[in-house]
């Protein structure tokens, strides 16, 4: 059996996008992600926010990612929904998932990538704050 040396973590998620400058601007201005690396010549941007990283790579329409969903954990999903709507973004109604202990809204970036913004329910937040992985609370 193979073992991985040291700690392995997801470094970033990469999206191949057709309208690279539009998407870089959107993730910076609408979601407030910070630029870690910007290589305009190669159409590559590495963005960071909330401890996660996302890369945007310029691509052709045939290679652009349409089946990717990005999930963002937020402190207040209702406030996030209002903020996105105030910026002219189309946002789904707030959905409650009582069985799994979270609330969410969904939107899309300029390329159509599905974005989910969620918050844990009160009891689930307590478990998460203790360092555990939240599970459904019946």
At residue 60, the pLDDT reads 83
Q: What is the DSSP string of 80-132?
A: HHHHHHHTT---PPPEEETTTTEEEEEEE-TT--EEEEEEE-HHHHHHHHTTP
How far apart are alpha carbons 107 and 113 in whole angstroms?
Answer: 8
Q: Of the candidates 62, 82, 102, which is a domain's last residue?
A: 62
Residue 92: inside a domain: yes
Question: Do 58 and 77 belong together in one domain?
Answer: no
Tokens representing 131? 């360092």
The pLDDT score that the predictor gives to residue 135 is 40
Which CATH number is 118's domain given? 3.10.180.10
- Average pLDDT of the segment spanning 30-43: 94
Q: Higher pLDDT residue, 3 or 95?
A: 95
User: Mean pLDDT across the stretch 63-72?
Assistant: 74
Task: Tell whether 84 and 124 lie within a shared domain.
Answer: yes
Q: Is residue 59 predicted with pLDDT exceeding 60?
A: yes
Which residue, 59, 58, 69, is CA-closest to 116? 69
Question: Could you tell me if residue 51 is left (phi over 0), alpha (psi between -120 and 50 degrees) or otherwise beta?
Answer: left
Contact criterion met (CB below 8 Å) for 75 and 33:
no
Same domain, residue pair 54 and 70: no
In a domain, 28, yes or no: yes
Considering only residues 4 and 57, tell me which one the structure prediction assigns the higher pLDDT: 57
Q: How many domains does the chain have?
A: 2
Can you give the residue range of the structural domain that contains 24? 11-62
As a whole number, the mean pLDDT across the chain is 81
**113 plus 78 within the same structural domain:** yes
Global pTM?
Answer: 0.63
**Per-residue pLDDT tens digits for 122-136:** 754 454 455 444 443
Report CA-CA distances (Å) from 105 to 6, 46, 57, 83, 116: 36, 25, 26, 12, 6
């Amino acid at each position: 059996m193979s073992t991985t040396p040291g700690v392995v973590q997801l470094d970033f998620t990469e999206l191949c996008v057709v309208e690279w400058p539009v998407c870089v601007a959107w993730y910076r201005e609408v979601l407030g992600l910070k630029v870690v690396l910007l290589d305009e010549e190669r159409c590559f941007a590495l963005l960071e926010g909330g401890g996660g990283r996302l890369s945007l790579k310029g691509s052709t329409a045939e290679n652009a990612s349409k089946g990717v969903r990005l999930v963002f954990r937020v402190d207040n999903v209702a406030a996030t929904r209002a903020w996105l709507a105030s910026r002219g973004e189309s946002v789904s109604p707030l959905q409650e998932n009582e069985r799994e202990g979270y609330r969410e809204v969904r939107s899309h970036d300029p390329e159509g990538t599905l974005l989910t913004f969620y918050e844990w329910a009160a009891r689930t937040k307590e478990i998460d704050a203790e360092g555990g992985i939240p599970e459904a609370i019946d």
